[in-house]
Structure 1
Amino acid sequence: MTGDVAVRRFPRLTVSTPRAHVRPLTGHDADAVAEVFGDKLTLRWLPLPQPGTVDAVRWCTEAAQERRDSGSGDHYGVVRREDDRLVGCLWTKRTDWACRVTEVSYAIAPEARGFGLAAEAVDAAAIALILEHGFHRVEVRVAPGNTPARRVVEKAGFSYEGLLRNAGYVQGGRVDLEVWSFVAADLG
């Protein structure tokens, strides 16, 4: 036995909370996704080489399918239940099947910020990944100056674990990343 783990297709994830649905993205979501990723505050914290480089149609279709098929993650929409409007995106990445660990990232449209929807969606996704899909750990990495993102993971019940020095990049250059986790024991 070499310890190798076969590449698995990332599981289909759909969850509902009192105020939101989290579901896989489709090509019909591209305009709303472009709005979410086109926001200046969101762009400030995304690891993109330059603003406006998210191809929303590709993100919702081909890129999501490639990530799912490779087993590394998936792309999801956060849909507000009151008006059935896509107001955010979640995506999973860096999945380690041997350890049953994945990382979640998120972006929320400006008009939906400050109402707890992001925390509700991240919490529901983490719980579903653990309870329904057998993950042991869900991580979030946050640049230290990104206070709104830190509030989301705190409200979603994640625990701060430490700082990865010079581990990421944003529009302003290289940054440290805070590591936050949600594990199966947190459900008890």
Structure 2
Amino acid sequence: MKLVVGLGNPGDKYKNTRHNIGFDAIDWFCDQYNFPVFNYESKFESFVSNSIVSDEKVLLAKPQTYMNLSGKAVSSISNFYKIPFEDILIVYDDIDMPTGKIRFKFDGAAGGHNGIKDTIKRLGTDKFGRLKIGIDRPDNKEMITPWVLGRFTEKEYEAIYSQKDDIVKLIVNWLDGKL
């Protein structure tokens, strides 16, 4: 089994915000591969869905622990199902990349992303896959929190949405062992 986790914050207040692009990416993947409806699993503090893609059992998760505690959900799921770290992919926003740019990475530091910091801390390793989606950064450093919790402009969303198929394809390539 492989675990693909989209990071974000729970609730309508945060829907369609820059920080929730991980949830959006998981939804795009879910829709394209006809996963069943997500169900809330309290033991994981996450919405989860599972199916088979490329002959691989895949569990999708959207943690409801808030971004800064994402590792709590990721570690609960990986421990319960005994999923090896290399079979975990985290999809999340990156303020250090231009809006719409995507990049796969395996291991390394959190790069200032609190959800990844918590995941590394709780898993006890940085040896897991990451699919980073650029959301750019504000000019004023003090505006980072309102920026990531803010909604995309129409132009920004178009830049992200134009990458939708490539994002889904990268997830499939990761599942197929091509990354």
Q: TM-score range by the shorter chain?
A: 0.3 to 0.5
Q: Which of the pair is proportionally richer in strand?
A: 1
Q: Which of the pair is proportionally richer in helix?
A: 2
TM-score normalised to structure 1 length: 0.32
- Higher Cα radius of gyration: 1
Greater RCO (CA < 8 Å, at least 6 residues apart): 2
TM-score normalised to structure 2 length: 0.33
